Amino acid sequence: MKKIFGVLCLIVFATGANAGDAAKGQSAAAICSACHGGDGNAVLPGAPSLAGQSEKYLIKQINDYKSGVRVNNQMQPMVANLSDEDTANIAAFYAGQKIQHMAVADEYIEAGNSLYMNGDADRGIAACTACHGVNGNGMAAAGFPALGGQKADYTKAQLEAFRSGARSNDENNVMRDIVAKMSDEQIKVLSNYLVGLH
């Protein structure tokens, strides 16, 4: 029992020690607004909306860009000089913002809902809900991203990058293994469905 209590105390202490300052993060993120929007809702269709993402996920992505594990010619120079404190603060700011959902075109609702909620057993594709939640809010504690409200162009590009192996910063190849089984049409449907999921 003492061991469990000690581990819990360590987790709580570590979580508190790494918590970012959202006010400082807003200032530090000013340069990010050209692509990601002042409130984390992307201005450009090919840029991700960061509003409402978990701090854990955002910190991982920034660090992956810094280390070169995740490659993007625009992002690498933007994050190169961020300190750990800057990274935590920016993540705290975006995590506290609200994602803006869009309307889903009728043609994507039924197929998108089915694929997201149930997967595709015939192709061996797991349901997205297992990691990203029923409402697309992600799983903050596990660092799994929120998908609801994300721009369709960005989601499509990321799914295709996982499928081709161009993006490989997923834990244990989970996304690469799943998306490898997806058709172009399924990627299109899912990307367009997620814009309104909440």
CA separation for the pair 198, 23 (Å, rounded): 27
| pLDDT tens digits for range 23-66 | 999 999 999 999 999 999 999 999 999 999 999 999 999 999 99
Signed CA dihedral, 12, 17, 20, 21: sign only:
positive
CA separation for the pair 7, 76 (Å, rounded): 35
Q: Is the pLDDT of residue 113 over 90?
A: yes
Mean pLDDT of 165-180: 97
Looking at residue 126, its pLDDT comes to: 97
Domain residue ranges in the chain = 20-95, 106-194
> pTM of the entire structure?
0.89
Looking at residue 18, its pLDDT comes to: 60
* pLDDT confidence bin for 8, thresholds 50/70/90: very low
Same fold, 20-95 and 106-194: yes
CA separation for the pair 75, 57 (Å, rounded): 16
The CATH code that applies to domain 20-95 is: 1.10.760.10
CA separation for the pair 173, 155 (Å, rounded): 18
Give the residue, 13 or 166, on which the prediction is more confident: 166
The domain defined by 106-194 folds into Cytochrome Bc1 Complex; Chain D, domain 2 (1.10.760)
Looking at residue 64, its pLDDT comes to: 98
Looking at residue 151, its pLDDT comes to: 96
Mean pLDDT of 173-178: 97
Q: What is the mean pLDDT of the chain?
A: 92
